[in-house]
């Protein structure tokens, strides 16, 4: 049971790491730009112009984009908490030598792919 749990947690961490530093950026390129207030404002202005939004639509879109930004950040915070919990549980399982090697493995896995 412990081995199964360890394999599951290691797989989850590897998947989370690859999403965080690889696929995640490609999948969410456009949504990531909306986190920057200046870029989000420019995006809204572009939508107003290219979609010919009415003032009411513009106001509603601004609200939706603001809500999305808050929701997205909340999800990112939850993911960080899940990662930290998984890591601390794994660290509690390992001896000092294994902990050092595990940290090294994490650093290797978390380096951005070039």
pLDDT at 44 over 60: yes
Tokens of 97: 């030598």
39 neighbors 33 (Cβ within 8 angstroms): yes
Q: What does the chain come to in residues?
A: 114
Q: What is the pLDDT of residue 60?
A: 93
Number of structural domains the chain divides into: 1
Report pTM.
0.51
pLDDT at 56 over 90: yes
More confident residue, 58 or 6: 58
Kindly tell me the burial class for residue 66, based on how many C-beta atoms sit within 10 Å of its own C-beta (0-12, 13-18, 19 or more): middle
- Each residue of 70-82: pLDDT tens digit? 888 888 889 889 8
What domain range includes position 35?
Answer: 2-110
Q: List Cα–Cα distances, 105 to 13, 29, 30, 95, in angstroms.
A: 11, 27, 31, 15
List the single range of 5-14, 64-73, 87-96 with lowest mean pLDDT. 5-14
Q: List Cα–Cα distances, 43 to 16, 23, 30, 37, 54, in angstroms.
A: 29, 23, 10, 10, 16
pLDDT at 66 over 70: yes
53 neighbors 61 (Cβ within 8 angstroms): yes
% of the chain with per-residue pLDDT over 70: 75
Q: What is the pLDDT of residue 50?
A: 93
């Amino acid at each position: 049971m412990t081995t199964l749990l360890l394999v599951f947690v290691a797989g989850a961490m590897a998947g989370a790491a690859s999403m965080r530093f690889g696929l995640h950026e490609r999948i969410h390129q456009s949504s990531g730009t909306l986190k920057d207030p200046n870029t989000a404002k420019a995006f809204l202005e572009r939508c107003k112009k290219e979609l010919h939004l009415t003032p009411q639509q513009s106001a509603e879109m601004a609200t939706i984009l603001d809500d999305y930004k808050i929701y997205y950040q909340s999800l990112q915070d939850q993911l960080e908490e899940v990662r930290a919990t998984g890591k601390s549980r794994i660290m509690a399982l390992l001896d000092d030598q294994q902990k050092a090697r595990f940290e090294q493995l994490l650093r290797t896995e978390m380096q951005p792919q070039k």
